[in-house]
C-alpha cells in the first residue's frame, strides 16, 4: 500500500493564532513541532496498517514548516517553495489513498479556525465547476482526477463538516472547535494525535468505503478576488478570462492545470496585494 499525506498547518492541534502560522511569528517554531507530530500520527498509522511507502508533503505556505529532523524516519518528505502542485505535490495515480492532516475550512466558513481559501485574504471565494470550493474540495478533486480516494481529513470541526459535505462518510478527526476565527476549544495535542492515529489506522485497515471524488471534466475554476487589480493582472495570463471586475475564470480538461494555474495566480496576487498582514 502506498499512502500520500498532505499536511497543512491551520488545522493542526493546539494552534489558533496567525502568528503561529508564519516564520518569525511568536509560537511558530512550536507550531512546526506540533504540525510534525500530527503528521507523524498519520504516518505511524499508515505503516502499522501495512503501508510499504508513505510520502508526506508540507502543504503550508512556502512548504518549509515540517521539521525534517523530527518527521518519522520511515517516510519520505516533500518540502520547499514553488512546488507546482502545491498541496498535492508528489501525488500521482500510483497511490492507494490520500490522508489530509491539519486542514481547515474554506473562506467564510462559520466558526472555521483561521478559515481561508488558498490565501490569507486575497481570495474571497473559489468555485470549482460552479460549486463553492475550499482547499478540501480542491485537493480531493485533484486526487480524484488521478483515481486516488481520500481516507482521512483531520483539522478543526468546521473543516470536518466541510469534508463530509464534499466526500460523504470520509473519516474525520476534529482536533479543535472554533469559537471564532482566532479562538477555539482545543483537544490537547497528545490526545489529538492519538485520535488522528486511531482514525487513520481504522480507515487504512478497511478501505471498503473509499471512493475517489469524481468531478466532471472539463474543469472550470472561477476565483473571486478581493481587488480588481489582482483580477485584471491574472486575466492577462493566456487562457484566463475576466467574467466580472473581480472574477477570473479558467477551464481545462487537465485537473493538474487547474491546480498549477491557481498557484501561479496566487503568487501573482501575493505580489500585488501583499501588505504584510495575514488571514485578513
82 appears as a binding residue in the annotation: no
| Nearest CA among 94, 70, 67, 90 for reference residue 78 | 90
The per-residue DSSP string of 110-128 comes to TT-TT--BSBSSSEEEEEE
Contact 103, 11 (CB under 8 A): yes
Residue 81 in this model has a pLDDT that exceeds 70: yes
C-alpha cell recorded at residue 6 = 498532505
- Given 82, 116, 179, 278, the catalytic residue: 116
The confidence score (pLDDT) of residue 82 equals: 86
Average pLDDT over residues 163-173: 97
- Tell me if residue 277 falls in helix, strand or coil: coil
The confidence score (pLDDT) of residue 273 equals: 74
pTM of the model as a whole: 0.96
CATH tag, 2-119+134-209: 3.40.50.10780
Q: Which residues contact 99 (CB under 8 A, 6 or more apart)?
A: 3, 4, 5, 6, 42, 46, 150, 151, 152, 154, 200
Question: 274: pLDDT confidence band, cut at 50, 70 and 90?
Answer: low
162 appears as a binding residue in the annotation: no
Residue 278 in this model has a pLDDT that exceeds 90: no
Measured CA to CA, the distance from residue 160 to residue 78 in angstroms comes to: 25
C-alpha cell recorded at residue 9 = 498547518
125 appears as a binding residue in the annotation: no
Widest pairwise Cα distance in the chain: 52
Residue 276 in this model has a pLDDT that exceeds 50: no
In sequence order, the β-bridge partners of residue 177 are 185
* Burial label, 106 (beta-carbon count in 10 A; 0-12, 13-18, 19+): buried
Between 23-27, 130-134, 200-204, 272-276, the lowest mean confidence (pLDDT) is in 272-276
Q: How far apart are the first and last CA of the chain?
A: 41
Higher pLDDT, 274 or 225: 225
| pLDDT 10s digits, 204-232 | 999 998 999 999 999 999 999 999 999 99
Average pLDDT over residues 43-69: 98
The confidence score (pLDDT) of residue 120 equals: 87
To the query of whether residue 116 is one of the catalytic residues in this protein, the response is yes
% of the chain beyond a pLDDT of 70 = 98
Measured CA to CA, the distance from residue 265 to residue 263 in angstroms comes to: 5
| pLDDT 10s digits, 8-44 | 999 999 999 999 999 999 999 999 999 999 999 999 9
Average pLDDT over residues 256-274: 91
Contact 168, 217 (CB under 8 A): no
For residues 240, 243, 246, 248, the Cα torsion angle rounded to the nearest 10 degrees is: -20
33 appears as a binding residue in the annotation: no
Q: Cell 510520502, residue?
A: 55
Amino acid at each position: 500500500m502506498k499512502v500520500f499525506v498532505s499536511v497543512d498547518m491551520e488545522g493542526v492541534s493546539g494552534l489558533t493564532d496567525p502568528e503561529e502560522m508564519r516564520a518569525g511569528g511568536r509560537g511558530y517554531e512550536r507550531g512546526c513541532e506540533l504540525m510534525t507530530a500530527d503528521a507523524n500520527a498519520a504516518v505511524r498509522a499508515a505503516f502499522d496498517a501495512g503501508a510499504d511507502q508513505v510520502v508526506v508533503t508540507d502543504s503550508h505556505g512556502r512548504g518549509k514548516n515540517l521539521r525534517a529532523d523530527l518527521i518519522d524516519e520511515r517516510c519520505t518528505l516533500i518540502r520547499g517553495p514553488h512546488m507546482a502542485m502545491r498541496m498535492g505535490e508528489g501525488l500521482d495515480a500510483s497511490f492507494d489513498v490520500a490522508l489530509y492532516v491539519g486542514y481547515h475550512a474554506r473562506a467564510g466558513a462559520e466558526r472555521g479556525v483561521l478559515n481561508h481559501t488558498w490565501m490569507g485574504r486575497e481570495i474571497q471565494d473559489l468555485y470549482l465547476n460552479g460549486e463553492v470550493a475550499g482547499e478540501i474540495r480542491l485537493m480531493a478533486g485533484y486526487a480524484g482526477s488521478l483515481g486516488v480516494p481520500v481516507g482521512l481529513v483531520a483539522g478543526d470541526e468546521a473543516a470536518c463538516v466541510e469534508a463530509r459535505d464534499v466526500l460523504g462518510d470520509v473519516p474525520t478527526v476534529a482536533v479543535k472547535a472554533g469559537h471564532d476565527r482566532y479562538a477555539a476549544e482545543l483537544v490537547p495535542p497528545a490526545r489529538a494525535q492519538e485520535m488522528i492515529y486511531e482514525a487513520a489506522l481504522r480507515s487504512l485497515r478497511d478501505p471498503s468505503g473509499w471512493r475517489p471524488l469524481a468531478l466532471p471534466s472539463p474543469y472550470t475554476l472561477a476565483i473571486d478576488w478581493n481587488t480588481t487589480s489582482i483580477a485584471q493582472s491574472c486575466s492577462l495570463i493566456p487562457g484566463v478570462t475576466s467574467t466580472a471586475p473581480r472574477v477570473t475564470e479558467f477551464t481545462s480538461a487537465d485537473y493538474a492545470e487547474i491546480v498549477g494555474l491557481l498557484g501561479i495566480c496566487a503568487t501573482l496576487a501575493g505580489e500585488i496585494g501583499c501588505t504584510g498582514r495575514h488571514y485578513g
